[in-house]
Structures are given as structure tokens and as C-alpha cells.
């Protein structure tokens, strides 16, 4: 028997919560009703003809119902949730199916991260467990909610595996840990966490808490890697995903959480009723259409090709050290070396600043994160962007470390050809 018990794990005030109800929960709108229940403006949105012309499609792109924007959006989003379920019911991990009852949708995964904290953690009493190096929002959101942090670092690079023995010991010995946030693939590690390790935490013999797996980058990982549908098998597993990364929709702010129906129910009770705007919902539905899916797969293919190219080209640049972590995301974590060929934060920070200030290329300095000494996190861009980045990095490292660039034979030849053309 799993020691998990929602009635003692969730906060009592959340369990007792009567969710906000709108009149349209009682009386479904069939489009013919006169809607005088929500103090909306029946004369319509304050959008003049030029705003409408500027924002509506030219006939080919997605139609967003601009003229319907004076109405509140759907608080439940069941149609959108069904589309997400259709995508994630892959039967790689269970024969069971997840349904809209297993889902929460929020303003990015950031809302789900926060909602879980508010659902389970009593401020100034309960704590969460995180495994550095990891995504910064777990600790920021914990701090906002006055929830303490317990850290069990991942095993050293390059594997960045979960230290599952230490995690489970900590869950036994430390009091009041309600949630563990696992990032898979990790940010900034780019490594998937082994399913067997997640299972070991889920099978903890005494811990009454929730395992949250953040799959923000899962669509860059091998087919079948997502554990979303696995929530049908575990009462205390939550899986988060987002449209901000592989789907290229960071601007609409849509994140989802999959959970057992009772947990999803609590999260839906505590959220603001109209958290998902109608344009966000409409655009998200396009993403889950066949066309949206094939566009995602095509763009992902291009990103993976550029990721492979970075993996080939970066080690050839003098001053670039080892790849740390995995290759299961749309970014890579690489060491920057000093003139003594040692990974070094002063060098990495200087490279980071020089790239941004003098070369117009912005990457992320991660050298202060646990086990990431001297590391930059590089997002995989377009072919042109990667070309520009590689050139800029080579020059910058030469400047920072005071060495000259060795021109390879190929490039030598190209340059001679180019100069002979000019000549």
C-alpha cells in the first residue's frame, strides 16, 4: 500500500475550498441566450476597424474570434484538454487512458509550479525538495509562498542522474517535504531522468507527498519518453508540460499539468476561473491540429540537425571544454576553458559578456549552478544563428584567452578562394 493520502497531504483549506462558480456553469450558453450575468460589455471589444484589420488574418492563417473577446473565456477548457490527451495517450507506459479529468491548464508551466505549491505546502511549515542544477522557478515560487527548500544535488556531470538513494533517505529523514520537483529532461542538464529512478521515489515506503516531473523539453527527447499518461497509474505523480519550447508558442503562455483526477480537481478548484484567455486557447488548438503537429515536427527536425552540428563543431573550437549533461533538449551545456585549459567561471562570464555586448549573441552563463563550473548554456538556434554563434565564440575565446585562431585547411582554402574572387 502506498503511504500517499491526499486527505492528509493537501492543505486543509484547499481540500475544503468551494470553487468560484459562474452562472454559465449552471446554464450552458447555446449562443442564443441573452447574457446579462457577468457584467461584460455587450457592445463588444474596444477595437476599431484598423485594430481589427491589423490583427485579423488575411484569410489563410488562424482565425481568432476578435469580435467575441468581450465575453469571458471558457473556465474549464475541456476541448483543449482533450486535444492534449489525444497527443499524450501513447500507451508507452500504460494501457490506461488519461482524460480531461486528469488535467490542469495554466498560464505557462509557471502557473502549475505555483498552483502545486499552494495546493500542498502550508507556508512557513512545509518544504519542497529540488535537485540542483535545476530550473530556477521552483525555488522562486517556493520563496514567494514562504515554503522552504531542501536540496539533493543530481549526481555529477556528465550523467546528472538522480541521486535516488539520497533523495529517498532525505524524504525519510526530513520533515514536512510535500513535493519533489524533478526536471526531465533537465534544465540546464539536458538529461532525461531514468524512469526507474522516478519509480523508486514513487514507491517510497513511508513518504506522503507528490512527485512532480517537469517535461518542458520532452518533445526534443526520443519518442515515448513522456510519462504524462503514467499519471493514470500513480495517485501522487504530476507531469508538467508547456507550449513554450518545442511547440514554439512561448508568447501565448500555456502550460499543462497531468495528474490523478483528485489532484487535478484540487488544482482546478484553486485556480483563477478565467486563467486561460480565448486567444491562447484558440491558438493552442491550432498547435494540436494535424497541421500544427507536422509543423512542430518539421521545426524540431531542423533544431535537432543544428544540435548535431553544434555537437560536432563546438569541440573543434580552442577554449571550448567538455559537453556537460545530455543532448535530449534544445540546448547544450558546454564548459569554457581558461588559458591553462581548465574550466573557469571568470573565462565563461567574460565570454558570455563579450558575446552579448560585442557580438550581439546572447547565451546563458550557468557557471554558478551546482556542478556546472565554467559552463554556458547554449540554445540551439536556426542554421544562420548557429553559424554566427560559432564564429563569434571562436573569436571571443581567442580574445579572452589571448591565443590566435588556427585556421583549418578547408577554411584556408575558402578564404584564398574568396580573396582571389575579390582580387
Ligand X SMILES: *Cc1c(COP(=O)(O)O)cnc(C)c1O
How many residues sit close enough to ligand X to count as binding (CB under 6 A)? 13
Among 141, 184, 187, 306, binds ligand X (CB under 6 A): 187
Query: Quick one: which of 69, 110, 131, 147 contacts ligand X (CB under 6 A)?
Result: 110
- Binding mask 44-83 toward ligand X (x if CB under 6 A, else -) reads ----------------------------------------
The DSSP secondary-structure symbol of 398 reads H
> What's the min distance (Å) between Cβ of 278 and ligand X?
19
Residue 185 near residue 217 (C-beta atoms within 8 A):
yes
Q: For residue 72, is the peptide bond before it cis, meaning its omega torsion is within 30 degrees of 0?
A: no
Place of cell 490506461: 96
Alpha carbon distance 1, 201 (integer Å) = 14
Q: Which stretch binds ligand X (CB under 6 A): 4-12, 240-248, 367-375, 405-413?
A: 240-248
For ligand X, the binding residue among 120, 135, 220, 389 (CB under 6 A) is 135
Q: Which is nearer to ligand X, 67 or 144 (CB)?
A: 144
Q: Which three cell numbers stand for residue 307?
A: 544540435
Task: Based on the shown chain and the rule CB under 6 A, indicate whether residue 280 belongs to the binding site for ligand X.
Answer: no
User: Which of residues 191 and 338 has its CB atom nearest to ligand X in the complex?
Assistant: 191
Q: Cell numbers 577554449 label which residue? A: 319
Mark residue 64 as left, alpha or beta (left: phi above 0; alpha: psi -120 to 50; beta: remaining): beta
Q: Does 183 bind ligand X (CB under 6 A)?
A: yes
**Cβ–Cβ under 8 Å, residues 368 and 130:** no
Q: Which three cell numbers stand for residue 377?
A: 548554456
Considering the rule CB under 6 A, would residue 328 count as an interface residue with ligand X? Answer: no
CB of 246 to ligand X, least distance (A): 11
Query: Bridge-partner residues for 324, per DSSP?
Result: 333
Tell me whether residue 239 or residue 337 sits nearer to ligand X (CB atom).
239
User: In 3-state terms, the chain is what percent helix, strand and coil (to 5)?
Assistant: 45, 15, 45
Minimum CB–partner distance for residue 331 and ligand X (Å): 9
CB of residue 339 to ligand X, shortest distance in Å: 33
Cβ 1 to ligand X, closest distance in Å?
32
Q: How far is the CB of 385 from ligand X (least distance, A)?
A: 18
- Contact indicator for 335, 368 with CB cutoff of 8 Å: no
3-state secondary structure of 392: helix
* Pairing status of strand 127-130 against strand 177-183: parallel
Task: List the Cα angle 298/304/305 in 5-degree steps.
Answer: 95
Q: Which of residues 242-261 bind ligand X (CB under 6 A)?
A: 242, 244-245, 250, 255
Span near ligand X by CB under 6 A; candidates 42-50, 105-113, 267-275, 305-313: 105-113
Residue ranges binding ligand X (CB under 6 A): 108-110, 135, 183, 187, 214, 216, 242, 244-245, 250, 255
Amino acid at each position: 500500500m502506498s503511504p500517499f493520502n491526499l486527505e492528509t497531504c493537501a492543505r486543509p483549506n484547499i481540500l475544503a475550498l468551494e470553487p468560484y462558480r459562474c452562472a454559465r456553469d449552471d446554464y450552458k450558453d447555446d449562443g442564443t441566450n441573452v447574457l446579462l450575468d457577468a457584467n461584460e460589455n455587450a457592445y463588444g471589444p474596444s477595437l476599431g476597424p484598423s485594430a481589427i484589420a491589423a490583427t485579423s488574418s488575411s484569410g489563410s492563417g488562424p482565425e481568432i474570434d476578435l469580435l467575441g473577446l468581450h465575453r469571458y473565456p471558457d473556465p474549464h477548457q475541456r476541448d483543449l484538454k482533450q486535444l492534449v490527451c489525444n497527443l499524450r495517450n501513447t500507451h508507452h507506459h500504460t494501457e490506461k487512458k488519461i482524460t480531461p479529468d486528469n488535467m490542469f491548464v495554466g498560464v505557462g508551466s509557471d502557473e502549475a509550479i505555483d498552483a502545486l505549491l499552494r495546493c500542498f505546502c502550508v507556508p512557513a511549515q512545509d518544504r519542497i525538495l529540488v535537485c540542483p542544477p535545476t530550473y530556477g522557478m521552483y525555488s522562486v515560487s517556493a520563496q514567494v509562498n514562504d515554503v522552504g527548500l531542501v536540496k539533493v544535488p543530481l549526481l555529477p556531470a556528465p550523467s546528472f542522474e538522480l541521486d535516488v538513494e539520497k533523495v529517498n533517505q532525505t524524504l525519510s529523514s526530513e520533515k514536512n517535504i510535500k513535493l519533489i520537483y524533478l526536471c526531465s529532461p533537465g534544465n540546464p542538464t539536458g538529461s532525461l531522468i531514468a524512469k526507474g529512478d522516478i519509480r523508486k521515489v514513487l514507491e517510497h515506503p513511508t513518504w506522503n507527498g507528490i512527485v512532480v516531473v517537469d517535461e518542458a523539453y520532452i518533445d526534443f527527447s526520443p519518442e515515448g519518453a513522456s510519462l504524462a499518461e503514467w499519471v493514470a497509474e500513480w495517485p501522487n505523480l504530476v507531469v508538467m508540460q508547456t507550449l513554450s519550447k518545442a511547440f514554439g508558442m512561448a508568447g501565448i503562455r500555456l502550460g499543462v499539468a497531468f495528474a490523478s483526477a483528485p489532484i487535478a480537481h484540487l488544482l482546478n478548484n484553486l485556480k483563477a476561473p478565467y486563467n486561460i484567455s480565448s486567444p491562447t486557447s484558440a491558438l493552442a488548438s491550432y498547435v494540436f491540429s494535424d497541421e500544427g503537429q507536422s509543423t512542430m515536427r518539421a521545426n524540431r527536425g531542423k533544431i535537432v540537425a543544428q544540435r548535431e552540428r553544434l555537437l560536432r563543431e563546438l569541440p573543434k573550437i580552442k577554449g571550448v571544454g567538455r559537453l556537460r549533461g545530455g543532448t535530449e533538449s534544445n540546448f547544450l551545456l558546454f564548459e569554457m576553458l581558461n588559458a591553462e585549459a581548465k574550466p573557469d567561471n571568470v573565462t565563461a562570464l567574460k565570454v558570455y559578456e563579450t558575446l552579448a555586448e560585442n557580438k550581439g549573441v546572447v547565451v546563458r552563463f550557468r557557471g554558478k549552478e551546482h556542478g556546472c563550473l565554467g559552463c554556458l548554456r547554449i540554445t540551439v538556434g536556426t542554421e544562420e544563428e548557429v553559424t554566427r554563434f560559432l564564429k563569434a565564440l571562436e573569436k571571443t575565446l581567442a580574445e579572452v584567452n589571448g591565443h590566435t585562431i588556427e585556421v583549418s585547411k578547408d577554411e584556408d582554402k575558402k578564404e584564398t578562394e574568396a580573396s582571389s574572387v575579390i582580387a
